[in-house]
Amino acid sequence: MVETPVLHVEKLTTRFRLGKQLVRVVDDVSFSLAQGQTLALVGESGCGKTVTALSLLRILPQIAEKPTGKVIYRGENLLELSERGLRQLRGGKIAMIFQDPSSALNPVYTVGDQLDEVAALHLGLTGEAAYVRALSALKEVGISSPE
């Protein structure tokens, strides 16, 4: 029996508007990922690894056109989802760990406050429940005294 992939990407193409030109920064990328499988995007700096990942979740800079092709996650084409539908997936079902740590957390707020916000947005938790979930997440990654 052939297993249905969790993620299937077919002919993904993303173009950036640079002045009067349209430049293909992701060109016809295809791959499938099964449950429990690991996939690595490997290449030189500037070859499109990050833009490929950003294209999957449609979190591209303003100079990007909407990606074309198919990004099928558990049977649903993410390129056809509404913004609201995408927001429900991002952080709850799908997440991306960015390579630049300075862009991941806001130094003005505590890590706990930022985790509380994620719990509220993606898990519907508030107050004490969000706080408990944030502490649990910090303990899961080895922070022994997150309080």
Alpha helices (H) along 34-126: 49-57, 83-89, 111-123
Each of the 147 residues of the chain gets a pLDDT tens digit; together they read: 567 899 999 999 999 999 999 999 999 999 999 998 988 888 898 899 999 999 999 999 999 999 999 999 999 999 999 988 888 888 778 877 776 766 677 778 888 788 888 788 777 888 888 888 888 888 887 887 777
Number of folded domains that form the chain: 1
Residue 12 lies in a domain: yes
- The token pair at 131 is 């706080």
- The token pair at 49 is 């690894």
Residue 101 lies in a domain: no
Residue 62 lies in a domain: yes
Residue 43 lies in a domain: yes
The pTM of this model reads 0.69
Domain enclosing residue 52, as ranges: 7-81
Quote the CA–CA distance of 87 and 66 in Å, as a whole number: 16
Residue 97 lies in a domain: no
Residue 143 lies in a domain: no
Residue 1 lies in a domain: no
Residue 96 lies in a domain: no
Quote the CA–CA distance of 142 and 21 in Å, as a whole number: 48
Task: Name the burial class of residue 12, with classes exposed (0-12), middle (13-18) and buried (19+) by CB atoms within 10 angstroms of its CB.
Answer: buried
What is the pLDDT at residue 11? 98
